[in-house]
Amino acid sequence: MTNIIPSCCEETECDCSFSTVKLRRRKGEEADSATRSEDKRTSVHWQWTLVVSLALLVLSHSVPPLGAANAEDFDCLMNPDEVIEVGSPVVGLLDEVLVDRGDTVRKGQIIARLESSAEQSTIALLETQANSVAVIEAQTKQVATADKRYQRVESLRDRGIATEEALDKAFAELVAAQSILIQVKLKHEVAVKELERAKVALEQRSIQSPADGVITERSLVAGERVSSEDHIVQIVRLDPLKIETFLPVSIYGKIAIGDEVTVVPVSPLSGEYTATVTVVDRVFDAASGTFAVVLELPNPNGVLPAGNRCIMRLISPGAK
C-alpha cells in the first residue's frame, strides 16, 4: 500500500526546516556580534591605557619635582677676551721674531726686535756726555777763582788802593764765569735727558707682549720692513673667556649684570662652569627679537679653548 502524505504535512515540514535554519543563523550572528563587541571593548581599553601612559610620561618630563628649578637653555659662543694685533710704534727693519704660532707669552715678554745699531751708537755717545762732569768741575773752579778775585779787589778798593774800574772788571769776570757754569750744567742735563729719550727709542725697537695669551698668527719674519699699518703677530687672551649669547626679548629683565649662570661647553669639551654677567644690552634687535648678553668666565692657564659653542643655562628667578 502506498503511503500518501498529505500536501499540508509536506508544507509544514518544510516550514519547520526553514525555521530551524533561520534560528541557527540568528544565533551565529548574535555570537559574532558579541565577539565583535568584546574585541571593540578590548581595543578601546588598550587605546585609553596608551593615552594615559603617554600623558603621564609627558607630565613626568614637563613638570619638575617639588623644589626643582626651572632652567632654560640658550646657545652661546666662547670667545677670547681680547684679540690683539701687535705692531711696532716705530718704522724699521725686523731683526728677529722670537715667537711662533701656538707659543704662550706673558705680559712684557719680548717677542720681536727691530734693527737698532744706530740707536745703540747714539746711546753710547750720550752716555759719555752724560757721565762726564769734568767740564762742570773745571768751570766751578773758575767761578770760585773769579769770586776770590772780586772779593780781593773789593777789599783793595775799600782801602783806596784799587780803583772802581778794577772792581767792576772783577765783578764782570765773576758773572761771566757763573753764566758759563750755568750753561755747562744745562748742557749736561740736556745730555742726560737725551740719553733717556734714546733709551726709550731703543726700547721701542724691542716689541713686547701687551698681555698674557697665545700666539695665533705670525705675519712678518726677520728681514721684512714694519710700517705703522703692519702687525707682527696676533695674540689672543684666553683668561677670562668672553661668553656671548642672544636672548629673546621676552625674558628681558630676568637677567642682570652681576648674575651668575651656568655655562656648559658642547662636545668635545665637557663640564659645567660658572660665569658672571658683565653686559646686558639695552637695545633690542627688532629683526630677531633678541638682545645681547656678555658673560665673563674665568679660565686660569687657558685650559678651555676659545671659539667653541656652549649652552647657557638660565634659572628662572621664581624657581630659585
- Asked if 312 and 74 count as a contact pair (C-beta separation under 8 A), the reply is yes
Residue 318: per-residue pLDDT: 46
Q: How far apart are CA 148 and CA 142, in angstroms?
A: 10
Query: Which amino acid does the sequence have at 165?
Result: E
Count CB-CB contacts under 10 A for residue 285: 12
Output the CA torsion sign for 94, 100, 101, 106: negative
Q: How far apart are CA 23 and CA 73, in angstroms?
A: 71
Return the C-alpha cell found at 48: 585609553
Query: Residue 298: is the preceding peptide bond cis (ω within 30°)?
Result: no
Residue 24: per-residue pLDDT: 53
Residue 17: per-residue pLDDT: 47
What pTM was computed for the model?
A: 0.61
List beta partners, residue 310. 76, 265
Residue 30: per-residue pLDDT: 55
Q: How far apart are CA 280 and CA 295, in angstroms?
A: 9
Q: How far apart are CA 286 and CA 147, in angstroms?
A: 86
CA geometry: angle at 200 spanning 196 and 205, to 5°? 150
Q: Pick out the chain residues at pLDDT < 70.
A: 1-71, 316-320
For cell 765773576, what's the residue?
174
Q: How far apart are CA 203 and CA 88, in angstroms?
A: 11
Considering only CA atoms, which of 166, 169, 174, 172 is closest in space to residue 139? Answer: 174
- The H or E element spanning position 53 is helix 7-62
- Asked if 112 and 96 count as a contact pair (C-beta separation under 8 A), the reply is yes
Q: How far apart are CA 89 and CA 304, in angstroms?
A: 32
Residue 47: per-residue pLDDT: 54
Considering only CA atoms, which of 266, 222, 232, 181 is closest in space to residue 96? Answer: 222
Considering only CA atoms, which of 121, 124, 139 is closest in space to residue 186? Answer: 139
For cell 626651572, what's the residue?
70
Residue 55: per-residue pLDDT: 41
Parallel, antiparallel, or unpaired for β 213-218 and 233-248?
antiparallel
Considering only CA atoms, which of 111, 109, 92, 127 is closest in space to residue 199? Answer: 127
List beta partners, residue 279. 294
Residue 276: per-residue pLDDT: 94
